[in-house]
Structure 1
């Protein structure tokens, strides 16, 4: 095969350590732009990004030349460093260990984008934990409730 052709769409979800409300409306756009740069520098495509003060959703078009875990590691470590360098919070900013990753087909993208764009509306009626568990159930992912959001 002369080249590799793919369309892989992944929604990545992860939380601030301890689910603290540390992502301020004042600087969330800056952190989203920074994360967009991280994804672009890895030669991947950021399609949508949004979140709440305690978590973030990122929809990416990922090529098979990078592992998803490596991409998320780079996003989390570089953005944490950036946030700490800006001194936007008192103390040290950290993302929680682990992440959720959910795959979609091309025909589902507009609904996923709308979902990510409307985070504030979704969280008027349910918590992040309720949202996350709903994703795990929707994608038929085995989990134990007592281990959701446990920092080891």
Structure 2
């Protein structure tokens, strides 16, 4: 039997960073749905949270899974579900781009905490600031 554990911190934002997910209750509903959908598709979504214009996921990749396909499955189905249920006043969609970085086993708990505290975190800083920090920290530029 093969064993693998590859954690990925995934971040994606709403199209043009429009704050579609602008209430706590809506976010709870959306995060619950993405977790259920991931489970149905055999995606191990360890943690999900975010704010009005973006989503953070901590995913453990399974054998035969790749990031691009997982992102497509998660974002595509979630957009469809939000629009089908008319959860936003306008047509909802995600940006095409996303961030995905590997997370070492020793940092998984810290990433969980970071994702868990998105509501509090974004009382003090914008997603634009978080975006710049994420880019810099992970040497994307």
TM-score normalized by structure 2?
Answer: 0.92
Distance 2:66 2:46 in 1: 18
Runs (4 or more) in structure 1 with deviation over 2 Å come to none
1:50·1:57 contact (CA, 8 Å) conserved in 2?
yes
Which structure features the higher share of helix residues? Answer: 2
Question: Match of 1:123, SS?
Answer: helix
SS in structure 2 opposite 1:77?
helix
Within a 5 Å distance, the mapping from 1:1-152 to structure 2 comes to 3-23=1-21, 24-142=23-141
**Structure 2 contact 7–102 (Cα < 8 Å) conserved:** yes
Query: Which entry has the higher C-alpha Rg, 1 or 2?
Result: 1
Stretches of structure 1 lacking an aligned partner (at least 5 in a row): 143-152
- Cα contact 2:27–2:51 (8 A) shared by 1: no
- TM-score when scaled to structure 1? 0.86
Aligned partners of 1:56, 1:44: CA distance in 2, in Å?
16
How much does 1:28 deviate? 1.6
Give CA deviations for 1:38-67 in whole Å, capped at 9, x if unaligned.
Answer: 221232211111110111101111113111
Instruction: State the aligned residue count.
Output: 140
